[in-house]
Protein backbone atom coordinates (compact mmCIF):
# COMPACT_ATOMS: atom_id res chain seq x y z
CA UNK A 1 0.00 0.00 0.00
CA UNK A 2 2.99 2.30 0.00
CA UNK A 3 2.76 2.60 -3.78
CA UNK A 4 0.80 5.80 -4.46
CA UNK A 5 -0.08 4.74 -8.01
CA UNK A 6 -2.39 2.04 -6.62
CA UNK A 7 -4.36 4.30 -4.28
CA UNK A 8 -6.45 3.39 -2.29
CA UNK A 9 -5.19 -0.20 -2.57
CA UNK A 10 -3.53 -2.42 -5.16
CA UNK A 11 -6.18 -4.08 -7.34
CA UNK A 12 -3.70 -5.46 -9.89
CA UNK A 13 -3.46 -8.80 -8.10
CA UNK A 14 -7.25 -9.28 -7.86
CA UNK A 15 -9.00 -11.77 -10.10
CA UNK A 16 -12.52 -13.10 -10.47
CA UNK A 17 -13.57 -14.94 -7.32
CA UNK A 18 -11.41 -12.80 -5.01
CA UNK A 19 -12.67 -10.55 -2.25
CA UNK A 20 -11.58 -7.29 -0.65
CA UNK A 21 -12.10 -7.84 3.06
CA UNK A 22 -13.69 -5.51 5.58
CA UNK A 23 -10.25 -4.94 7.16
CA UNK A 24 -8.75 -3.91 3.81
CA UNK A 25 -11.54 -1.40 3.16
CA UNK A 26 -11.31 -0.03 6.72
CA UNK A 27 -7.55 0.41 6.41
CA UNK A 28 -7.60 1.92 2.88
CA UNK A 29 -10.34 4.46 3.64
CA UNK A 30 -9.83 4.98 7.42
CA UNK A 31 -13.40 4.04 8.30
CA UNK A 32 -15.10 1.59 10.68
CA UNK A 33 -17.42 -1.18 9.52
CA UNK A 34 -21.09 -0.57 10.34
CA UNK A 35 -21.01 3.19 9.81
CA UNK A 36 -22.41 5.33 7.01
CA UNK A 37 -18.86 6.34 6.07
CA UNK A 38 -18.05 2.64 5.58
CA UNK A 39 -20.94 2.26 3.14
CA UNK A 40 -19.64 5.20 1.08
CA UNK A 41 -16.10 3.80 1.27
CA UNK A 42 -17.39 0.42 0.10
CA UNK A 43 -19.02 2.06 -2.93
CA UNK A 44 -15.78 3.90 -3.73
CA UNK A 45 -13.81 0.65 -3.42
CA UNK A 46 -16.31 -1.11 -5.68
CA UNK A 47 -15.95 1.55 -8.39
CA UNK A 48 -12.16 1.45 -8.01
CA UNK A 49 -12.10 -2.34 -8.54
CA UNK A 50 -14.50 -2.18 -11.51
CA UNK A 51 -12.36 0.56 -13.14
CA UNK A 52 -9.16 -1.41 -12.46
CA UNK A 53 -10.57 -4.45 -14.23
CA UNK A 54 -11.91 -2.29 -17.08
CA UNK A 55 -8.40 -0.91 -17.64
CA UNK A 56 -7.28 -4.53 -18.07
CA UNK A 57 -10.10 -5.12 -20.56
CA UNK A 58 -12.26 -7.23 -18.24
CA UNK A 59 -15.86 -6.66 -17.19
CA UNK A 60 -16.68 -7.81 -13.67
CA UNK A 61 -19.63 -7.86 -11.31
CA UNK A 62 -18.89 -6.83 -7.74
CA UNK A 63 -21.31 -7.54 -4.88
CA UNK A 64 -21.57 -6.90 -1.15
CA UNK A 65 -21.24 -9.98 1.09
CA UNK A 66 -20.97 -9.60 4.86
CA UNK A 67 -19.39 -6.16 4.48
CA UNK A 68 -16.75 -7.37 2.04
CA UNK A 69 -16.45 -6.63 -1.65
CA UNK A 70 -16.64 -9.86 -3.69
CA UNK A 71 -15.71 -10.13 -7.37
CA UNK A 72 -17.97 -12.79 -8.86
CA UNK A 73 -16.66 -15.65 -10.98
CA UNK A 74 -18.01 -16.03 -14.51
CA UNK A 75 -20.50 -18.67 -13.37
CA UNK A 76 -21.72 -16.56 -10.44
CA UNK A 77 -21.79 -13.47 -12.64
CA UNK A 78 -24.05 -15.12 -15.22
CA UNK A 79 -26.61 -16.21 -12.61
CA UNK A 80 -26.47 -12.94 -10.64
CA UNK A 81 -26.85 -10.64 -13.64
CA UNK A 82 -29.68 -12.76 -15.06
CA UNK A 83 -31.55 -12.43 -11.76
CA UNK A 84 -30.86 -8.68 -11.65
CA UNK A 85 -32.20 -8.28 -15.18
CA UNK A 86 -35.39 -10.18 -14.32
CA UNK A 87 -35.83 -8.05 -11.18
CA UNK A 88 -35.46 -4.93 -13.33
CA UNK A 89 -38.19 -6.11 -15.68
CA UNK A 90 -40.51 -6.78 -12.72
CA UNK A 91 -39.74 -3.31 -11.38
CA UNK A 92 -40.52 -1.79 -14.80
CA UNK A 93 -43.87 -3.61 -14.90
CA UNK A 94 -44.83 -2.27 -11.46
CA UNK A 95 -43.78 1.25 -12.46
CA UNK A 96 -45.85 1.04 -15.65
CA UNK A 97 -48.88 -0.11 -13.67
CA UNK A 98 -48.48 2.92 -11.39
CA UNK A 99 -48.24 5.18 -14.45
CA UNK A 100 -51.53 3.75 -15.71
CA UNK A 101 -53.07 4.58 -12.33
CA UNK A 102 -52.54 8.32 -12.79
CA UNK A 103 -55.75 10.23 -13.53
CA UNK A 104 -55.19 12.11 -16.81
CA UNK A 105 -58.08 14.48 -16.11
CA UNK A 106 -56.21 15.87 -13.10
CA UNK A 107 -53.05 16.74 -15.06
CA UNK A 108 -53.42 20.43 -15.92
CA UNK A 109 -50.06 21.15 -17.58
CA UNK A 110 -50.16 20.08 -21.27
CA UNK A 111 -46.40 19.41 -21.31
CA UNK A 112 -46.68 16.99 -18.41
CA UNK A 113 -49.71 15.35 -20.03
CA UNK A 114 -47.79 14.82 -23.30
CA UNK A 115 -44.81 13.43 -21.38
CA UNK A 116 -47.12 11.11 -19.40
CA UNK A 117 -48.88 9.83 -22.52
CA UNK A 118 -45.60 9.32 -24.38
CA UNK A 119 -44.07 7.49 -21.41
CA UNK A 120 -47.05 5.15 -21.19
CA UNK A 121 -46.83 4.45 -24.94
CA UNK A 122 -43.09 3.74 -24.90
CA UNK A 123 -43.22 1.69 -21.70
CA UNK A 124 -46.08 -0.38 -23.08
CA UNK A 125 -44.17 -1.13 -26.26
CA UNK A 126 -41.01 -2.09 -24.38
CA UNK A 127 -42.88 -4.36 -21.98
CA UNK A 128 -44.81 -5.96 -24.86
CA UNK A 129 -41.55 -6.66 -26.69
CA UNK A 130 -40.00 -8.19 -23.57
CA UNK A 131 -43.11 -10.28 -23.01
CA UNK A 132 -43.00 -11.61 -26.57
CA UNK A 133 -39.31 -12.51 -26.29
CA UNK A 134 -39.57 -14.23 -22.91
CA UNK A 135 -42.64 -16.31 -23.71
CA UNK A 136 -41.67 -19.94 -24.26
CA UNK A 137 -43.33 -21.38 -27.32
CA UNK A 138 -43.80 -25.16 -27.47
CA UNK A 139 -42.09 -26.80 -30.44
CA UNK A 140 -44.45 -27.52 -33.31
CA UNK A 141 -43.98 -30.63 -35.48
CA UNK A 142 -43.14 -29.96 -39.10
CA UNK A 143 -46.03 -30.74 -41.45
CA UNK A 144 -45.33 -31.72 -44.99
CA UNK A 145 -46.73 -29.24 -47.47
CA UNK A 146 -45.80 -31.09 -50.69
CA UNK A 147 -47.74 -34.11 -51.88
CA UNK A 148 -46.30 -37.57 -51.39
CA UNK A 149 -45.78 -39.74 -54.46
CA UNK A 150 -48.11 -42.74 -54.59
CA UNK A 151 -46.40 -45.81 -53.15
CA UNK A 152 -43.50 -43.83 -51.59
CA UNK A 153 -42.72 -44.33 -47.93
CA UNK A 154 -43.07 -41.29 -45.72
CA UNK A 155 -40.76 -40.39 -42.83
CA UNK A 156 -43.26 -41.66 -40.29
CA UNK A 157 -43.49 -45.07 -41.96
CA UNK A 158 -39.72 -45.66 -42.02
CA UNK A 159 -39.14 -44.83 -38.35
CA UNK A 160 -39.74 -47.67 -35.84
What contacts 24+ positions apart, CB below 8 Å, involve 76-79?
77/16
Domain count, the chain: 2
Of 54, 71, 88, which residue is a domain's last? 71
CA distances 33 to 27, 79, 84, Å, are 10, 28, 26
Q: What is the DSSP letter of 74?
A: H
Q: Which residues of the chain have pLDDT under 50?
A: 1-4
Give the pLDDT confidence score for residue 4 in this predicted structure. 47
Predicted pLDDT of residue 138 = 76
Q: Are residues 85 and 113 in the same domain?
A: yes
Q: E strands of the chain, at which residues?
A: 19-20, 62-65, 68-71
**Rounded CA gap, 70 and 72, in Å?**
6
Asked, for residue 103, whether it belongs to a domain, the answer is yes
Say if CB 49 and CB 62 are below 8 A apart.
Answer: yes
pLDDT at 53: 94
Question: Do 96 and 130 lie in a common domain?
Answer: yes
Q: What is the pLDDT of residue 96?
A: 95
144 to 60, 87, 134, 137, 138: CA distances (angstroms): 49, 42, 29, 21, 19
Residue 149, in any domain of the structure? no
Q: Which domain holds residue 95?
A: 74-134
Residue 141 lies in a domain: no
User: pLDDT at position 139, please?
Assistant: 77
pLDDT of residue 9: 82
Q: How high is the pLDDT of residue 146?
A: 74
E strand spans, 17-140: 19-20, 62-65, 68-71
Task: Compute CA distances 150 → 146, 147, 153, whole Å.
Answer: 13, 9, 9
Residues 64 and 87 in one domain: no
Amino acid sequence: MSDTSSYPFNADHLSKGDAVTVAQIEHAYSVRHGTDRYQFAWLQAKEFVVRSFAERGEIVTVVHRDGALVILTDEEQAAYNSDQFKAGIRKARRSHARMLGADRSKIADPDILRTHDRAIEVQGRVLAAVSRETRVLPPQPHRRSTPVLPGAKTDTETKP
